Amino acid sequence: MTFTERELIKKAGADSGWSIVESDGPDSVTLGSASHNECATIKCCDHEMDVTFTVLFNESELHVGGAFDVVGSQKIIVQEREYESLRRVLHRMQELFIALPPTPIEIYNTRWRQIVAGGLPATETEETVKQRVGQDVYREALMNYWKGACAVTNCTISEVLRASHAKPWKDCSFAEERLDVYNGLLLSANLDALFDKGLITFDDDGNIMLSSQLNETNLKRVGIYPDMHLRWIDAHHLPYLQYHREHVWKG
């Protein structure tokens, strides 16, 4: 690995939240996440770069463009030593660190302790403040997980995106469920309203299911069509979607 190659790897890391250089050897560079206790080791081999993470990941959740192959659940091979592809992979992994359990609950606990230390607002109850903080953390997690775009339409106008729960907030027994990024979807406002009222849901393949209470004319008026589907779906979504179909959806 040349000096230039090492510097380009470090730059790709710094641009993606991996600003800590854990080690810098003759044939590899190990980067640390600036916000999480995780590492990525990048090694140059022939015409490619092997990137090995200390954390497991699901290929279905990467969804970044670039010239790379996924090998198992911890390794990615970047073809032709393409540094933009490396940057995209590192950036996406950083987004997932922030979104996936247990990070949201850790962020929630930190913020709650800070609020308690500073004193609760006189106009709000403890439960109201907890719900507000939790919903803010949950939305941030979904924004990172879905790359700031609607889980169905890919709309990126943040002002119209809503953090939807599959298992409603009131039905969750623990904060871990309420803040679980898999317990819901980032949806544009029209989809969120129908999902929240049980007039649409999704099957285990991510395909939209429409309530018989809806008619084709009104669906077209709000831009919803029977061939819509989630941009991706992970196995961790399935229990929550099943709950939504069984307890919320009005088939």
81-109 per-position pLDDT tens digit = 789 889 999 999 999 988 998 899 999 99
Length of the chain: 251
Whole-number Å distance between alpha carbons of 127 and 133: 10
Whole-number Å distance between alpha carbons of 239 and 180: 12
Across 42-59, average pLDDT: 89
Cβ atoms of 237 and 229 within 8 Å: the answer is: no
User: Of all helices (H) and strands (E), which one includes residue 184?
Assistant: strand 184-188
**Three-class SS state of 68:** strand
Q: Taking the CA of residue 62 as centre, how many other CA atoms within 13 Å lie in the half-sphere pointing to its CB?
A: 23
Q: Measuring CA to CA, which residue among 182, 226, 186 is closest to residue 207?
A: 226
pLDDT(65) > 80: no
Cβ atoms of 156 and 149 within 8 Å: the answer is: yes
Of the listed ranges 9-13, 58-62, 168-172, 241-245, the one predicted with least confidence: 58-62
Whole-number Å distance between alpha carbons of 18 and 139: 23
Of the listed ranges 126-135, 203-212, 224-233, the one predicted with least confidence: 126-135
Does residue 233 form part of some domain?
yes
Q: What is the reported pLDDT for 148?
A: 95
Tokens matching residue 7: 């510097």
Q: What is the reported pLDDT for 108?
A: 93
- CA–centroid distance for 11 within its chain: 24
**Three-class SS state of 210:** strand
pLDDT(246) > 90: yes
**69 and 127 belong to one structural domain:** no
Number of domains in the chain: 2
**184 and 241 belong to one structural domain:** yes
**118 and 203 belong to one structural domain:** yes
Tokens matching residue 136: 């803010």
pLDDT(67) > 90: no
pLDDT (tens digit per residue) in 121-175: 878 888 888 899 999 999 999 999 999 999 999 999 999 999 999 999 999 999 9
Grade residue 118 by pLDDT with cuts at 50, 70 and 90: confident
**112 and 82 belong to one structural domain:** no
Across 14-37, average pLDDT: 90
Q: What is the reported pLDDT for 126?
A: 86
Whole-number Å distance between alpha carbons of 16 and 166: 31
Range(s) of the domain holding residue 54: 3-92
What's the pTM value of the predicted model, to 2 decimals?
0.89
Residue 162 has phi, psi (to 5 degrees) of -125, 145
pLDDT(207) > 90: yes
**15 and 122 belong to one structural domain:** no
Do the strands 20-24 and 68-71 form a parallel or antiparallel pair, or are they unpaired? unpaired
Grade residue 1 by pLDDT with cuts at 50, 70 and 90: confident
Whole-number Å distance between alpha carbons of 173 and 160: 29
Last residue of a domain, one of 73, 92, 111: 92
Q: Which residues pair with 29 in a beta bridge?
A: 24, 42
